[in-house]
Amino acid sequence: MNSSTLLSLSTFIYAFAAFFYVVALIFEKPVLLKPGKWTAIAGCIGNAAGIGLRWIESYKLGIGHAPLTNLYESLIFFALVIIILYLIVEQKYKYNMLGAFVTPLAYFAMAYASLSPNISDRIQPLIPALQSNWLIAHVVACFIGYAAFAISFGISFVYLFKKNTQDSTSFFDRLPDSAILDELNHQMIIFGFLFLTVGIITGAVWANSAWGRYWGWDPKETWSLITWFIYATLLHARMMRGWTGKRIAMLSIIGFMGVMFTYFGVNYLPGLHSYGVLEKTISP
């Protein structure tokens, strides 16, 4: 079995995990929560094993490097970190119903990586700028931050619907209280903001070693900074202005839109960080 097959299998496992969580929430079947958790764990193991196998395969091809350098590899790593962080949150806080809003995000990331005709799963050699020890530190820090913001996005979505619904039989009433969701959302944003900051700093150091400058206003750099300011504004508003609840949830959703544009949108703009540009550059 090669890495592509294992990662494709993990995609279907994530789909089953999301199915269990969603059905458990909508149809009030808590008995399905445990199968959902164990299916998510199985998908996580398969996902991690697939990334590890892909790493080994790159060395067998004589171009060994960490599998974090193109859109396909970043998506499967993104899905892995989302599930790992969610499982930690579920284990610590026991809010397992939130899996209905988080596991689909991991599934969509994996499915997009596996099924999109515009994304190649071919292992490719690194261009000189990517041949750096800063690669792993920068990418891992950024995607831990992105994954935390993805979970925050799911929590914010739940919070807004829970606050806006007046139907006492709504399945949102089976989720944690609004105050708990608000506090958990805040904790995930702080965690994500910390890692995004580390990612930007390590990226600047890497840029200096690769291109001789710490900052160049490349589209990815610019939008990373915009996203950082959105979340910095959110944390400032909460700490200094006392904002909570709906306003924080809305800012969290806006922030995650910034994350998604930083991740996907800038690929359609010319720049040194564009996955599309990188893949065209290094293709034979």
Encoded amino acid at 127, one letter: I
pLDDT digits (tens, 9 = 90+) for 13-31: 999 999 999 999 888 888 9
- Greater confidence (89 vs 174) lies with 89
- Sign of the Cα pseudo-torsion (199, 40, 190, 239, in order): positive
**107 neighbors 15 (Cβ within 8 angstroms):** yes
User: In terms of C-beta density within 10 A (0-12 exposed, 13-18 middle, 19 or more buried), how is residue 163 classed?
Assistant: middle
Closest CA to 150 of 90, 233, 79, 250: 79
- Distance from C-alpha of 218 to C-alpha of 27, rounded to nearest angstrom: 48
Phi-psi region of 250 (alpha: psi -120 to 50; beta: other; left: phi over 0): alpha
Q: What pLDDT does residue 211 have?
A: 77
pTM: predicted TM-score of the whole model, two decimal places: 0.90
The first and second tokens of residue 199, run together, are: 């990612």
**153 neighbors 253 (Cβ within 8 angstroms):** yes
Closest CA to 125 of 177, 171, 59: 59
pLDDT higher than threshold 60 for residue 150: yes
The structural domains of the chain, with segments of one domain joined by +, span: 126-284
- Distance from C-alpha of 259 to C-alpha of 150, rounded to nearest angstrom: 9
**210 neighbors 148 (Cβ within 8 angstroms):** no
pLDDT higher than threshold 90 for residue 278: no
Closest CA to 256 of 56, 102, 87: 102
Q: What pLDDT does residue 280 have?
A: 38
pLDDT digits (tens, 9 = 90+) for 234-265: 999 999 888 898 999 999 999 999 999 988 87
- Distance from C-alpha of 18 to C-alpha of 20, rounded to nearest angstrom: 5
- Greater confidence (88 vs 284) lies with 88
